[in-house]
Structures are given as structure tokens and as C-alpha cells.
Chain A
Amino acid sequence: MTATTAPHSPAVGTAHRTSVAVIGTGAIGQDLVSKVHRSPVLDCALVVGRNPDSAGLAHAARLGYPTSAGGIEAVLAADRPFDVLLDATSAAAHVEHWRLLADTPTLLVDLTPSKIGQMVVPTVTGTHGPTGRDVSLISCGGQASIPIAHGLAERFAVDYIEVVSTVASTIAGRATRLNLDEYVATTQHALTTFTDVPETKAILNISPAVPPATFRTAVHAVIPGADADAVRSVVDAVAARVREFAPGYRVIACAVAGDRVVVSVEVIADSDVLPHYAGNLDIINSAAILVAEQHAARLGRAAGTGARS
């Protein structure tokens, strides 16, 4: 089978490279741009913000990428639809972006807690990428905790599960602070969905420590008859899989006392732009890049078989 490029593919001339637009120019957006920059299969085709003087647009321009301060209109005005739009704006804005792009072939990857798309946690939902075209990455705490919670629930009978994440104050922006309720609701919903444990709880702490504390998540579970060695082996296996796309993910503590299990993980950012403690942003962004790369592989396969033309 020859790798001929489908005539309507936006990847014309760069076989199997997939066009990505990034909307949102805060810390998340900047890190996304730098991660797209590092990817061998993704092309950063446009970086969009609202403020022409923002640091995020300047960062993208320095890397040589086209930028616009025109918001979602700039995305809609492109000559042809982007393969992927990474949305690092806000929950309310994402709802509008999906409405505007629902009829295009673009895959939307939502890094806000809007909760409207198909929820994806890469090590849990599989390596082939999502079937829907609006993908929700839930929350940073969700990305850090659900692999462990899901691993435990698959192996043991879990009565209750709870996740407590701690984010450094310096990287918790105003949107995060105003959206704590949505963070809690979205993370709890995802925990229940991916573990089938009816009673779940999500908590978020903002740490003021100086120097800033590394992002961490504690997964608490009630598991009658839990065996410490069995728990540890599940947790280590899960962590190894997460590290395949988020190398800073590591287990800090894993303790079993009676039917109480607590697993703490930390994420150190593997990023050209984020401080090392910003693992919360790194893990959700790494998941976004993985989803985009999986989509690229699917477009490549489709192009290869001619199915997409």
C-alpha cells in the first residue's frame, strides 16, 4: 500500500503531518504550542488569542508560527479546516467553539472543564483516539488521578474513591479560581464514569508554598481486603503507562491500612515553557498532544487506504 496523500487532506505535501491550531494564549496555550513544536507528526498552523500584545502570541511568533488576535473567527476564516483545534480558553467559550465547528471535519480537543465532549484519559480510553469530534480532557486532577482510580477499580472491588489534587498558587489563574465548582463537578463525573464506583469525590487545594509545590494528586480508596503488594503492582503498572506520554508522572506514596488505600502521585512538568512544578498543566497538555497524534495516525491510515478521500 503506497502512502499517497488524499487530495483533500490538509496535509498535502507533508505526508501524514497534521495541522493543529491552538486557541488560548495563557500558560496552557504556550505549552501546547511548544509541545506541538516538538511533535514529529503535528504542524502548528495557527495560534489564536484575543490580545495582539499577549506573551503567548509573541512566543508562538518566535517559534515561527502564524498568529492572530482575532479569536475563534480567525479559526473559522482559515482557507481550509484545521485537522485539530486545541482549545485552552474557558468552559463557556468552548461551548461556543464547538457550536461553530460542529459541522467541520476539525477535531476539537477541550482543555477546559466544559464537560460537553467525549471524555478521554489516554491510558484508560485506549490508544486509537476518540470516536467523537469533541474531546474533553476533563481536568488536570482527572488526568492525574483517573488512571490510578481506574486501575484500582479494574483489579479490586472498590466501595468509594476520592481524589485530592494540589496546584501551586502561582499557576492557578483567575479562570481556575472562578471555576472550582466546575472542576469539582467535572472531575467527580469522570471518576464515576471511568471506575463505575457510584460514590466519588474530588477536592482541589491551592498551595501558597514558596518555592511553589509540585503538582500532586492523592487517590484515596476504600477497598475491603486490599493487599498492599497487589495495590502497589497495579499502581506501578499504571504509572509506567502514563509515563509513556507524561514522563514526569511518578508515585510518591502508596499506603494500605486496613481497607483504606492512599496513592500519591506527583507530576513534574516536561516542558520548554512551564516551571517544573506545573505538572498539572503538563499532564493535561501531554494528553492533548497524544490525542492529536493519535488523530494524525488515523488520518494517515485513512489517507493510506484512500478512505478519507
Chain B
Amino acid sequence: MTDVVVHDPTLRDGQHAVRHQLGVAALRGYAEAADAAGVPVVEVGHGNGLGASSLQVGRAAVSDDLMLATVRAALRRSKMGVFMLPGWGTSADLRKAIAHGADVIRIGVHCTEPSLAERHLGFLAEQGADGHCVLMMSHMATAAQLAEHAATAVGYGARAVGLMDSAGNFLPQDVSDRIGAIAAAVDVPVIFHGHNNLGMAVANSVAAAQAGATIIDGCARGFGAGAGNTQLEVLVPVLERTGFRTGIDLYGLLDAADFAERELMPAPPTTDTVSIVSGLAGVFSGFKHQVLDASRRSGVDPRDVFFELGRRQAIAGQEDLIVDVVAELGEVAS
């Protein structure tokens, strides 16, 4: 059996599904349940991470300070994780997260732009913090490019590095090729974070583990952007059956999933038709609500909007393009 660290961003990526409105009781309750199940890392924050509460993506119901303090107090065994996008959050946010007791700090950058993480990974290394780097929207680069960028991030001080399939675009072979290339290029743990737009999140995560990833992300009930993330309570037993040890208690995990379904979300994410289009178009899953809202107001087909955003190679954080694209498609239609 190979050990895999399951990293749980339910309380961060799940925020996208509820427009960043998770309240203190939900944060505390889920963190306690995940901790009781022995989930190694519980990540918390606004959907786009530290400092990202904004009109561009959505304003959070709870401040970063309160989110971190709440989850920290609820965790006894589990580590607390946070996420930050340079250009959205700053070193001041990292300093604050460290002061709140964040154990694992992920810096997210678009997959072809590792140098955007240079300063913050360096800062985390100086602080002695466990700084990781995730390459987002990783379907937009080849295996060789990703391996090179991952090695660059390790050079900046990342203690783990990996991929987010932010658009839920990958099929298992895509993941095997890319994770395999990264695992061969770096000597730190490799991360994989899946989305379920094409129904592949669990299969992709198993492929990642088999190709050498040892940190795998999963969210309770798949709670996450768009069609949702890799479903945690499916991922864990499937990993165990395929020969990976997670150290997570099954009943505790199922209880946490039930809590999540009851208290965090109106309904678990599903691979609805716009999410399929979003995955095919290679657009960040977090765009879903805004695309639907703007399309409805202007009477344009949200599927056209997703394909046009894909054509423009929109990346995570560029939600302001949605208004342009909807306006342009609306003009063409009228």
C-alpha cells in the first residue's frame, strides 16, 4: 500500500457553488466532522482564496479572519489549508493566515505562469511555512511544459507541486501523462485536484495516484465549482481498493458527507448540461453562476458564452470577460 494524503477543499472550492456564502456554523460543523474522520488537511477560504472576496467573483459572507479562526478552532488532528492567487491576495494575507495557524499554504497560478508564484513561495519558505504550488487550468499546457513549470515552482521553494483540472477537461490518460511527467521532474510530493464536468473526477484522481501523485483533493458530496470536485467519500474507498492508504475512517467520512449535504449546500453539484459544455470548452468551472445570470438577463445561450470564453482562453479570475462576451453575442443575435 502506498500512502496518499487526501486534501479536502470542501470549505474553499465549495464556496463557488454557494456564491461564497458559507456561514460560521457550517464552517465549524464541517471542519469538526472532517477532523473526526481523520481527513489530513481541511482547506478553507473564499472560493478564489485569501483576499479574493470581490464583486468580480463574489463577496464572501464571512471575512477571511473569521473563516480561519473558526476552522482552526474546530480542528484537533487535521491540518488547516489555505489557498491564494497572486494578484488577488498578497503577502499580507499570507502573513495573516500563518498567524491564524494555517499549516498548508497553496499558491495557485495559471499553469503557464509559475513565475507569478516566485515571490510568495519565497516568502513562505522564509517563514518556514509549508508552501505548495498548484498549476491551474492545466489542460491548457502539455505534459512537458507542466513538468518544466512544476520544477520551476520547486526551485522557488514549493514543498509540493501539482495540477488543478480547473475546467474538468481531462480524461484519465491526460492526467496519467501529465502527473507522470511532473513526478519524474520533481522530488517533492505531487498534487492532483479534479473537477467533474465530464464525469471523470474520481477516475482522473485514481489515474493521478497511479502516476505518482501523493496528495489528492476531494470535496464532500463533490461540493465545488461547476459540476463539482472529486467526490471525497467516493474517492477515499476507491483509493483504498486500488491500493492506496488514506488513514481516513470510512464511517466518519460518510458522516461528514451527510453533514455537508444537509448543512452546506442546497443540493449536491451535478454534471448538468452547462457544466458539460464548460468542461468541453475548457473554461474555469467557477464561471458557471455568472455565465448563467448574465445569459439569462440578455437572452443569449449560455453554451455559446462558454464556447466563446474558451475561444478567448479565459482563465480563472477573468470573470469580467463574461459581460463582454454576453454583450457581443447579444448584439449578434439582435
- Count of chain A to chain B residue pairs whose CB atoms are closer than 8 Å in the complex: 86
A206→B91 CA distance, assembly (Å): 18
Instruction: List A129-176 residues whose CB lies under 8 Å from chain B.
Output: 160, 162, 164, 166, 169, 174
Does residue B273 face the partner (Cβ distance < 8 Å to A)?
A: no
A73→B334 CA distance, assembly (Å): 62
Task: Please give me the residue from chain B that is nearest to A169 by CB atom.
Answer: B113
Chain A residues lying within 8 Å of B314, measured Cβ to Cβ, are 209
A201→B58 CA distance, assembly (Å): 13
Task: Please give me the residue from chain A that is nearest to B115 by CB atom.
Answer: A177
Does residue A220 face the partner (Cβ distance < 8 Å to B)?
A: yes
Assess A205 versus B113: contact at CB under 8 Å? Given A220-B55, A252-B324.
no
A201→B115 CA distance, assembly (Å): 23
- Shortest beta-carbon distance, B221 to chain A, in Å? 30
A85→B324 CA distance, assembly (Å): 39
Contact with A along B290-334 (1 / 0, CB 8 A): 000000010000000000000011110110100110010000000
Instruction: List A172-189 residues whose CB lies under 8 Å from chain B.
Output: 174, 177-178, 180-181, 183-185
Task: Please give me the residue from chain A that is nearest to B313 by CB atom.
Answer: A209
Task: Please give me the residue from chain A that is nearest to B123 by CB atom.
Answer: A181
- Shortest beta-carbon distance, B63 to chain A, in Å? 12
Does residue A69 face the partner (Cβ distance < 8 Å to B)?
A: no
Give the contact stretch, choosing among B17-25, B26-34, B82-90: B82-90
Cβ-neighbour of A160 out of B55, B140, B327 (below 8 A): B55
Contact with A along B92-112 (1 / 0, CB 8 A): 100000000000000000101
Assess A216 versus B87: contact at CB under 8 Å? Given A164-B56, A181-B92, A255-B327.
no
Chain A residues lying within 8 Å of B242, measured Cβ to Cβ, are none
Contact with B along A196-229 (1 / 0, CB 8 A): 0000010111111110010010101110000000
Does residue A253 face the partner (Cβ distance < 8 Å to B)?
A: yes
Does residue B165 face the partner (Cβ distance < 8 Å to A)?
A: no
Cβ-neighbour of A181 out of B112, B119, B297 (below 8 A): B119
Does residue A63 face the partner (Cβ distance < 8 Å to B)?
A: no
Assess A180 versus B320: contact at CB under 8 Å? Given A162-B56, A209-B312, A213-B312.
no
Assess A255 versus B318: contact at CB under 8 Å? Given A162-B56, A260-B55.
no
A59→B102 CA distance, assembly (Å): 50
Check B312–A222 contact: CB distance below 8 A. Answer: no
A301→B110 CA distance, assembly (Å): 51
- Among B54, B55, B327, find the residue whose CB has the most chain A CB atoms closer than 10 A: B55
Does residue A100 face the partner (Cβ distance < 8 Å to B)?
A: no
- Shortest beta-carbon distance, B315 to chain A, in Å? 7
Check A162–B119 contact: CB distance below 8 A. Answer: no
- Shortest beta-carbon distance, A179 to chain B, in Å? 8
Does residue B13 face the partner (Cβ distance < 8 Å to A)?
A: no
Check B88–A203 contact: CB distance below 8 A. Answer: yes
Check A203–B313 contact: CB distance below 8 A. Answer: no
- Shortest beta-carbon distance, A118 to chain B, in Å? 24
Check B116–A203 contact: CB distance below 8 A. Answer: no
Chain A residues with a Cβ closer than 8 Å to the other chain, count:
35
Q: Interface of chain A, helix or strand or loop or mixed? A: strand
Chain B residues lying within 8 Å of A210, measured Cβ to Cβ, are 313
Chain A residues lying within 8 Å of B43, measured Cβ to Cβ, are none
Cβ-neighbour of B317 out of A169, A203, A257 (below 8 A): A203
Task: Please give me the residue from chain B that is nearest to A173 by CB atom.
Answer: B115
Assess A177 versus B118: contact at CB under 8 Å? Given A160-B55, A164-B320, A203-B54.
yes
Check B327–A203 contact: CB distance below 8 A. Answer: no
Chain A residues lying within 8 Å of B87, measured Cβ to Cβ, are 180, 183-184, 203-206
- Among B116, B312, B313, find the residue whose CB has the most chain A CB atoms closer than 10 A: B116
Check A253–B86 contact: CB distance below 8 A. Answer: no
Chain B residues lying within 8 Å of A220, measured Cβ to Cβ, are 54-56, 320
- Shortest beta-carbon distance, B113 to chain A, in Å? 6
- Among B87, B113, B118, find the residue whose CB has the most chain A CB atoms closer than 10 A: B87
Check B315–A207 contact: CB distance below 8 A. Answer: yes
B residues contacting A by CB (< 8 A) are: 54-56, 86-88, 90-92, 110, 112-113, 115-116, 118-119, 140, 297, 312-315, 317-318, 320, 323-324, 327
Known: A180-B119, A208-B140. 10 other contacts (CB 8 A): A164-B320, A180-B87, A181-B90, A185-B90, A205-B318, A208-B113, A209-B313, A257-B297, A264-B320, A264-B324
A-B contact pairs, 28 of them (CB 8 A): A160-B55, A162-B54, A169-B112, A177-B116, A178-B118, A178-B119, A180-B90, A180-B119, A184-B87, A185-B90, A201-B54, A203-B317, A205-B315, A205-B317, A205-B318, A207-B313, A207-B315, A208-B313, A208-B315, A210-B313, A213-B312, A218-B56, A218-B323, A222-B55, A252-B324, A253-B327, A255-B327, A262-B55
